[in-house]
Amino acid sequence: MSLRYALIALLTGRPMTGYDISKSFSSSVAHVWHAPDSQIYPELNRMERDGLLDAVEVPWGKKGTKKEYHVTDAGLADFRRWMESPLKPQRQRDPAYLKAAYYDFADPEAVREQLRRQQTYWEEHLAMLERTRATLLDRTHPTLAARLTKLDEREAELAVRYKIYAYDGLIARARTELAWIEDGFALVDELHDS
Amino acid sequence: MSLRYALIALLTGRPMTGYDISKSFSSSVAHVWHAPDSQIYPELNRMERDGLLDAVEVPWGKKGTKKEYHVTDAGLADFRRWMESPLKPQRQRDPAYLKAAYYDFADPEAVREQLRRQQTYWEEHLAMLERTRATLLDRTHPTLAARLTKLDEREAELAVRYKIYAYDGLIARARTELAWIEDGFALVDELHDS
DNA sequence: CGGCTCATGTAACCAGTTACATGATTAG
DNA sequence: CTAATCATGTAACTGGTTACATGAGCCG
């Protein structure tokens, strides 16, 4: 269900076509909620059917049209309702930790290789988060910038600060993962001669 | 697919019935990989079919029997192969962060309520992780203890240390979440008069 | 005219969730 | 005898993944 709220969140910035969404998704909401195109288009149709979005046919080229989705009042109300509803506690389900608990079944060199891959992944992820955070701070992030034009300074301040808050959480999480990976290297060295 | 490896991991400790598994699951592997009963039983059947487990019929009461699952050599080999195979990078998908990025759409009091709930959840989760970590350290954790009887001291040391390593990661993560939640309270107070 | 981007999906599958179903055994 | 525990699931559904499918428009 969160996908639909990720989509509404994105569309509060500005109306977009499915294509626009699937492109800008990856550089914004996808940092907290990833989804592939094949899930986005059908969901947009369902949301239109449920009255959360209005699809406006916009001409495209000579004869083509494209659908531009606008959040309806009902959609916004639904979004706010979801925002204020309690989260159900997330189940833990992380293969990295499952593996780590049983690293004694694997070859030490294979463990190091795992750790190196995770390290690379998290370093890149962290760098991306920090870049994005910077564009939020200076308000050049395209999706955010689009939304800010509709807000007064007080509202803009809130929107920006909460987004930065979310990214700060993601950044802290990435750093925690990286510190854990560092500890992993040290542990493998300690346990297997070196 | 990770469920099946969580199950093999658990069964390396000692052979168990589906019922044993579904009970002890929650106090061990479920900390890294949650699964309900309704997913466990069918998966055990599939794993037996695939030759990863042997099901031994054990008498139970006067006429009943129960199935005790043993990991086969093929199962262990498959587990090791999985252990050494690269993880595919996990997609971010966390509703708490999605909401946080858009807290400006919610009432400040509703936001505080959200934060309080998450705080309670993570505090309890953290306490549970720390209790479990302590039982790993003193080797009284039942699943671990069962496995240790089959290992020499050197192997036992590895098994224990890696399990503690995994829990240290989970604990660090929980603390990071709690720190982020604290920052959330401070931010709401700052942004909404107080 | 050829290749990129814009545009919109479908189909088959797999994993996980929720709710329900049923019966035997054992402890008090 | 009754309640708790042991035992084992099925069914319907939701959400997410992977792979594929197709065509119009735009730029050089």
Q: What is the pLDDT of residue B89?
A: 84
Tokens read off for B87 = 């993880």
Q: What is the pLDDT of residue B132?
A: 96
Tokens read off for B62 = 């006067």
Q: What percent of chain B has pLDDT over 70?
A: 99
Average pLDDT of span B157-164: 98
CA of B194: how far to CAs of A144, A161, B110, B187, in Å?
A: 26, 17, 14, 11
Strand runs labelled E in B62-193: 64-71
Query: B56-88, pLDDT tens digit by residue?
Result: 999 988 888 999 999 999 999 999 999 999 999
- pLDDT of A75 above 90: yes
Average pLDDT of span A89-118: 95
DSSP element (H, E) containing B104: none
B194 vs A22, higher pLDDT: A22
With bands split at pLDDT 50, 70 and 90, how would you rate the model's confidence at A61?
confident
Distance between CA B37 and CA A91 in Å, rounded? 15
Q: What is the DSSP string of B127-183?
A: HHHHHHHHHHHTT--HHHHHHHTTS-HHHHHHHHHHHHHHHHHHHHHHHHHHHHHHH
Cβ pair B40, B25 in contact under 8 A:
yes
Distance between CA B124 and CA B118 in Å, rounded? 10
- Count chain A–chain B contacts defined by CB atoms under 8 A: 194
Residue A80: Cβ within 10 Å count = 16
Cβ pair A10, A143 in contact under 8 A:
yes
Tokens read off for B54 = 């042997």
Question: Is strand D in 7 Å reach of the CB of A171?
Answer: no
- pLDDT of A194 above 90: no
Residue A93: Cβ within 10 Å count = 16
Distance between CA B175 and CA B170 in Å, rounded? 9
Nucleotides of D under 7 A from a protein CB: 6-11, 14-20, 24-26
Report the chain A residue with the minimal C-alpha distance to residue B159.
A104
| Distance (Å) from the alpha carbon of A11 to chain B's nearest alpha carbon | 12
> Angle at which helices A2-11 and A18-25 pack, to 10 degrees?
100
Query: B23-47, pLDDT tens digit by residue?
Result: 999 889 999 999 999 999 999 999 9
Q: How far is CA A67 from the centre of its chain?
A: 24
Query: A8-52, pLDDT tens digit by residue?
Result: 999 999 999 999 999 999 889 999 999 999 999 999 999 999 999
Q: Which nucleotide is nearest to A55 (CA to C1')?
A: C8
Q: What is the pLDDT of residue A6?
A: 97
Cβ pair A147, A163 in contact under 8 A:
no
Average pLDDT of span B145-157: 95
Taking CB atoms and an 8 Å limit, are A87 and B117 in contact across chains?
Answer: yes
With bands split at pLDDT 50, 70 and 90, how would you rate the model's confidence at B107?
very high
Q: What is the pLDDT of residue A63?
A: 82
Mean pLDDT for all residues in chain A: 95
- pLDDT of A143 above 70: yes
